Chain A
């Protein structure tokens, strides 16, 4: 049996299993049983379905209810939906499995099966210890340093972005002053300039102050760059906090600073956390700035370092790349999945601008 047949077989089998599961759940549903349990039992091919068909109904069943489920149109519809879902799941998951596979591959070339024959953790060891010897040639990597650099940059960016943004957004959301509209429009316009326009100037500026090759200097740019978007974001959130709160506090004799610290700040913890999380994640995935501003390999951030594993013509190392990608991607992907609701809302809010 060749690979194609094997793949097709697994695919068809999965589609059938999930279709049967869906039918089982439909039956259970009609009979008033727990859908979750039916979903689990329905995963047992045929037997699960038979089990539920034989089961007594909790509520009254119309005569056509069960036969309707088994109408060819319904079965085909279900099969069609699952053939699409399973196919797409394959497409989504295969690159990821392949990456995990590659990261476990002990040889340094391109892995040509989805999973290596003798998986090992040598690549992870290599990344974490920084060196290894293969065939008498010593290889080194600064992965741990990159991680540390990125972590520092991310942390500092998060702290300073929150510090700079919160107060500013508060003022924009709550007070009327001369130049407010101009200011808001200006930061909006600033966002629309491509990063590249300022790249040369930033490089020259950094050179003048001796900041090139210094990862922590990137924080200045990230923080400055984060201000416009986040001002709009926080401003939009703060506008939903009723103004009466401020006003009653004012009557009680609180000044603007007190209002901010005692009332607004505690209420805006969710949005500030959101800003903190997004700002913490941003430097991990920024390639353009560090690749342009940082020359020495031990000063790189992760994005630059990881890409170098596959872009360096003289010294490609696919498994090390894959291992590094996994190490970096897992925490970030987890954060994304955990915060997906907020993140998607945040992006949408960005599109609608408050």
Chain B
């Protein structure tokens, strides 16, 4: 190979690796800058739309809602003590010491009478308290025998003997309950100002010298870390306790070190997940014991919190998720492994797009129900009833992936186009340089480009619009036909997957599908669509023709007037006329009223075509002409849908004939008058003139419209949807939601739009079939037209 070709090739390779590199070697700075700029833009788009290099975090990436951690940790402890426990004593409430009630009363400016168990306000009037129960140790009796056992062991052995306890605590549920129980007690203890009598566990306190004391002996030293604003234990692990509230400080140290320290380090580590988690865990562990169902507790909690903190459902659920996982760290790890898909979570526009197009996602949504979350807190005997709300751990949204994938793909088509241009340019320019020993002027290149590419530049806006608003959705629709996108698989709840030709097979199998009868119904609807389209086209075409002939008869005076009257149905918006028909031909509508008043209804009743149920209608003929029961059921004759079908075709003539009438009378007036004169001289009768001149000319000139009208009627959504709504009958699962007058297009509408149906995959299959039929027909018609042949 020649040297210059090798050089050109090398430059081309350079450009193929880094856009604009070859141009740089060609000393074409503007081009190099432009191509490199585009290249950088692509990389910038990919990187900035992805989150490369950041670590996956379940809370940030998967669970919607704001953390509101700061607001909650500032607010909740205070709220818990002073709002729920103290300022709202009138709610359902358990206590175990009258001192507490005295405190409560005092802080509200009330007094409490121990003998009558009644609060009194400032004036000495009694205040109704809904449900005060005196609780002592027995209040925990319902927690079951196991707890009692633990407590007994604790009593016997003291806190030192934690190994025995650890064994028993292996039962997870018990562990949770015990913990809750301890917290509850510790709180009370604190509130009662250091009265420890009722406690069986010895308290651990943090003394003034930062020595952790448990069960009367020193556990270890903790240091206050100013920068972290937490205590650090002797293992250098943060205790994650904020010292802003002394009561809590004490409490947490109790939980952490007294109960769990010696169980094992991993279990213990769980409880170091953070102040935030522990905080809530402790709070809710206590609170929930007062509520007998998850729903009521969750409602109460959310209600209270949202009174004071601006927190929406998502935020609240996110908080619950935190609590859930602080109790269930294994579940957290498991979920993290499940949902952490590097393509979905981290890749950018192009990579994620293509990945999404191929896989349509691989991880379904995971739902954490509140009862699940709360069951960790509830005693096993507690009521877990209503799945009131749920926490969604978002999975992969298949349709959005598909959409993004298609957009990325279409953008890539353009990108590849520019990419090839870039490489070719590097190669060609290099050759020119080698041959002419001169660097071509770039200004000329661009001027040339504009001249040659004027067409493309003008086309670009329309092209882009069509690409993304018309073509992309069509690709999407085509793709959906090969998926299982239906009501059973609706993102984000479920994943969609590719099913190949399964949907088509189901349609063409003729056998009733295992679930829903698309196979059988399709052929019914399809054959009716064909009959409808053919009948509607020919009735309107020939109706219009006959009318045009009559209108153009020389006897007609004031032809313009008659023409204007008769063209009204065409001028009226079809949609409006169709709706008017729906009203007029209602079972109790105007037409039936008139027929009844004129006695026509009675006449048909006498003939046995009306006035009784279909089953009672006698002969075959009466069944065939069964028009309805009490009235003509023009649009709702469920027993004899053939009547409705015929009627719709007749009604459609009203809507459709004027167009052909107007068109054909235009053609007739333009027929050369000398033809008729010549014919008359030759002795042709009026009818012969009509047969041999008017009819062939008019029909020939207008017949290309037959195909268009046929396609129009094939997809005449309005007539069916607005007049009968696809009925009578249908709309049920058994008939695959097809009514007896539904044509394909109106069936598709139901399958797509009705929120209870949503059988998108089948709707797409039918759309494709319609396209194949209408497309073929139109293409065949079109190739015969002048315009197409001219354009070669």
Chain A positions 181 through 192: 1 when the CB is less than 8 Å from some CB of chain B, otherwise 0 = 101100111101
> Which residue from chain A places its CB closest to the CB of B660 in the assembled complex?
A344
A165 to B465, CA, bound (A): 11
Q: Which of B456, B461, B480 is in CB contact (< 8 Å) with A200?
A: B480
Q: A241 contacts the other chain (Cβ, under 8 Å)? A: no
A187 to B562, CA, bound (A): 40
Q: Which of A81, A188, A192, A201 is in CB contact (< 8 Å) with B555?
A: A81
A350 to B590, CA, bound (A): 38
A352 to B787, CA, bound (A): 8
Cross-chain contact B400 with A227 (CB below 8 angstroms)? no
List A residues 1-43 near B (Cβ within 8 Å): 2-4, 7, 18, 21-22, 25-26, 35, 39, 42
Contacts A99-B580, A197-B771, A352-B785 given: A4-B593 contact, CB under 8 Å?
A: no
Q: B100 contacts the other chain (Cβ, under 8 Å)? A: no
Q: Which of A35, A110, A190 is in CB contact (< 8 Å) with B589?
A: A110
A196 to B791, CA, bound (A): 31
Cross-chain contact B654 with A344 (CB below 8 angstroms)? no
Cross-chain contact B572 with A329 (CB below 8 angstroms)? yes
Q: A249 contacts the other chain (Cβ, under 8 Å)? A: no
Contacts A2-B599, A164-B462, A351-B704 given: A95-B788 contact, CB under 8 Å?
A: no
Q: B394 contacts the other chain (Cβ, under 8 Å)? A: no
Contacts A77-B555, A200-B760 given: A187-B568 contact, CB under 8 Å?
A: no
> Which one of A95, A221, A228 has the greatest number of beta carbons of chain B within 10 Å?
A95
Cross-chain contact A92 with B569 (CB below 8 angstroms)? yes
Q: A348 contacts the other chain (Cβ, under 8 Å)? A: yes
Give the segment of B61-69, B466-474, B729-737 that binds chain A.
B466-474
Q: Which of B399, B568, B575, B745 is in CB contact (< 8 Å) with A93?
A: B568
Q: B350 contacts the other chain (Cβ, under 8 Å)? A: no
Q: B583 contacts the other chain (Cβ, under 8 Å)? A: yes
Q: A223 contacts the other chain (Cβ, under 8 Å)? A: yes
Contacts A110-B586, A181-B791, A329-B576 given: A204-B400 contact, CB under 8 Å?
A: yes
Q: Which residues of B contact A347 (CB under 8 A)?
A: 659, 705
> Which residue from chain B places its CB closest to the CB of A102 in the assembled complex?
B583
A1 to B144, CA, bound (A): 91
Q: Which residues of A contact B621 (CB under 8 A)?
A: none
Contacts A4-B600, A192-B771 given: A198-B477 contact, CB under 8 Å?
A: yes
Q: B512 contacts the other chain (Cβ, under 8 Å)? A: no
Q: Which residues of A contact B704 (CB under 8 A)?
A: 351-352
Q: Which residues of A contact B550 (CB under 8 A)?
A: 81, 84-85
> Which residue from chain A places its CB closest to the CB of B465 in the assembled complex?
A224
Cross-chain contact A287 with B455 (CB below 8 angstroms)? no
Q: How far is the CB of B533 from chain A (nearest CB, A)?
A: 14
Which of under 10, 10 to 19, 20 to 34, or 35 or more describes the interface residues of A?
35 or more
Q: How far is the CB of B716 from chain A (nearest CB, A)?
A: 12
> Which residue from chain A places its CB closest to the CB of B706 in the assembled complex?
A351
Q: Which residues of A contact B588 (CB under 8 A)?
A: 110
Q: How far is the CB of A279 from chain B (nearest CB, A)?
A: 14
> Which residue from chain A places its CB closest to the CB of B784 in the assembled complex?
A352
Cross-chain contact A332 with B580 (CB below 8 angstroms)? no
A69 to B570, CA, bound (A): 35
Q: Which of A167, A225, A333 is in CB contact (< 8 Å) with B571?
A: A333
Q: How far is the CB of A63 from chain B (nearest CB, A)?
A: 21
Q: How far is the CB of B370 from chain A (nearest CB, A)?
A: 27
Cross-chain contact B575 with A287 (CB below 8 angstroms)? yes
A181 to B466, CA, bound (A): 16
Q: How far is the CB of B132 from chain A (nearest CB, A)?
A: 48
A287 to B562, CA, bound (A): 31
Q: Which residues of B contact A196 (CB under 8 A)?
A: 477, 745, 748-749, 752, 763, 767
Cross-chain contact B469 with A92 (CB below 8 angstroms)? no
Q: Which residues of A contact B553 (CB under 8 A)?
A: 81
Q: Which residues of A contact B583 (CB under 8 A)?
A: 102, 110, 310, 318, 321-322
Q: How far is the CB of A26 from chain B (nearest CB, A)?
A: 7
A112 to B763, CA, bound (A): 40
List A residues 210-252 near B (Cβ within 8 Å): 220-221, 223-225, 227-228, 232, 236, 239
Give the segment of A53-61, A127-135, A147-155, A170-178 that binds chain B.
A170-178
> Which residue from chain A places its CB closest to the CB of B781 in the assembled complex?
A351
Q: Which residues of A contact B593 (CB under 8 A)?
A: 112-113
Q: How far is the CB of B455 from chain A (nearest CB, A)?
A: 5
Q: Which of A98, A171, A292, A306 is in CB contact (< 8 Å) with B458?
A: A171
Q: Which of B485, B577, B708, B748 is in CB contact (< 8 Å) with A194?
A: B748
The total number of A-B Cβ pairs within 8 Å is 268
Chain B positions 466 through 501: 1 when the CB is less than 8 Å from some CB of chain A, otherwise 0 = 100111111111101000010000000000000000
A348 to B659, CA, bound (A): 10
Cross-chain contact A165 with B568 (CB below 8 angstroms)? no
Q: B90 contacts the other chain (Cβ, under 8 Å)? A: no
Q: Which residues of B contact A334 (CB under 8 A)?
A: 571
> Which one of A77, A96, A164 has the greatest number of beta carbons of chain B within 10 Å?
A96
> Which residue from chain B places its CB closest to the CB of A337 in the assembled complex?
B571
Chain B positions 315 through 339: 1 when the CB is less than 8 Å from some CB of chain A, otherwise 0 = 0000000000000000000000000
Q: How far is the CB of A74 from chain B (nearest CB, A)?
A: 8
Q: A66 contacts the other chain (Cβ, under 8 Å)? A: no
Chain A positions 307 through 332: 1 when the CB is less than 8 Å from some CB of chain B, otherwise 0 = 10010000000100110010011001
A7 to B600, CA, bound (A): 13
A78 to B594, CA, bound (A): 30
Q: A284 contacts the other chain (Cβ, under 8 Å)? A: yes
Q: A336 contacts the other chain (Cβ, under 8 Å)? A: yes
Q: A256 contacts the other chain (Cβ, under 8 Å)? A: yes
Q: B573 contacts the other chain (Cβ, under 8 Å)? A: yes
Q: Which of B659, B767, B791 is in CB contact (< 8 Å) with A197?
A: B767
Q: How far is the CB of A206 from chain B (nearest CB, A)?
A: 10
A285 to B574, CA, bound (A): 8
Q: B558 contacts the other chain (Cβ, under 8 Å)? A: yes
The 5 A-B residue pairs with the shortest CB-CB distance in the complex, in nearest-first order: A198-B473, A201-B476, A197-B477, A354-B787, A201-B473
A selection of 12 A-B contacts at a CB cut-off of 8 Å is: A4-B598, A42-B557, A98-B584, A167-B462, A170-B458, A196-B763, A224-B466, A285-B574, A329-B572, A329-B576, A332-B573, A347-B705
Chain B residues with CB under 8 Å of chain A are 399-400, 403, 406, 454-456, 458-459, 461-462, 465-466, 469-478, 480, 485, 547, 550-551, 553, 555-558, 562, 564-577, 579-584, 586, 588-590, 593-594, 597-600, 654, 659, 662-663, 666, 704-705, 707-708, 711, 715, 717-718, 721-722, 745, 748-749, 752-753, 760, 763-764, 767-768, 770-771, 774-775, 778-779, 782, 785-788, 790-791
Identify 9 new A-B residue pairs, CB closer than 8 A, beyond the known A171-B459, A200-B485, A201-B477. A26-B555, A96-B572, A164-B465, A188-B779, A189-B775, A198-B477, A201-B475, A288-B749, A340-B567
